[in-house]
Structure 1
Amino acid sequence: MATEEVNKPPTLPPYPEMIMKALEALNEENGSNKSAISKYIESTYGELPAGHSALLSEHLNKMKENGELDLWKNSYMKHDPNAPPKRGRGRPPKPKEPLPPGTVLGPSRPRGRPPKDPNAPPKPPKSTSGRPRGRPRKMARPSGGFDGATGSTAVTASSSGRPRGRPPKVKASLPEVSVQ
């Protein structure tokens, strides 16, 4: 970074000063983004060093970390000490109660199910009700329907007395009309 500051023109003020002037001049309610700040600096100060965008990003990040600027939705704004802190997305965490002094915390439990003990005796099988697990199997029914060998339809009566499925289509013959 020292080489970049040596290469910059002597009339150029320090980047933090240029950034603050840009934010004051732009005076946007929700702050200004990096590109708007860069365009303002370029239009105001004219000739800038070759790594201007990198220098601007670096100084914006430093100013944000130092608390001079606030970043909200990619927009930088001057830090107002009287403003309430902005909340992020989601529900805020519950406040933690401080532990009394002298309390020793044990190791936290690991995530997931604990491994089975290889030396533990096997468990006896569970008593079952005599039925196997899962859905019961369908009962075998006598075949009904079209018999390919004889070409006839076998009728299997169900509880309602009708055969299963769609009834066969009845072919209606046209009545003969006599012409006199």
Structure 2
Amino acid sequence: MATSTPTDEAASPHPGSYPQMIMDALATSTLDGAEGLPRSAISKHVDAARGGDLSPSHDASLGAHLARMVEDGEIVRMPNGNYAPSAAADDAGAPPRRGRGRPPKPKAPGPRRPRGRPPKPRDPLAPAKVSRPRGRPPKNGAASTEAAETAEDGAGAKRPRGRPPKVRPQFAEVGFV
């Protein structure tokens, strides 16, 4: 079962297609001096051109054709919601609409600054920094026992890390240290 669409000129018993009837309706509105036509007036004009024989999907078809014609630039939707031919919208001299919110600041010419805090100036006469690895150094149990053995020999003794143990004088006299 084949369905015919109202936009097919061959299937339609009435001459003219939706875009042509929309343009005819808008042409009559510009002759009257009005600023475009609302969608309801365009629908009435199409109904009169078809002789009152509209399909049940007339509203959807009209909306689709109006949206496509606005997108293609054939017609323009005015700020008041009416539709007008694209040449009539240019003649109206309406100022361009502003977007929402505060307008952006003018961009300064020149190179962009990087984000964040600027680095401190470096002294060219300062000695080079020795970089150390990040984080805490690893704890080596084997290395500490080797250091204790070499400390007994006296050759290459490494000083253990941390503070030396506190010697209390009353225990030193007795020999408990």
TM-score interval, normalised by the smaller of the two chains: 0.3 to 0.5
The structure richer in helix per residue is 2
Which structure has the larger Rg?
2
TM-score, with normalisation over the residues of structure 2? Answer: 0.46
Q: TM-score, normalised by structure 1?
A: 0.45
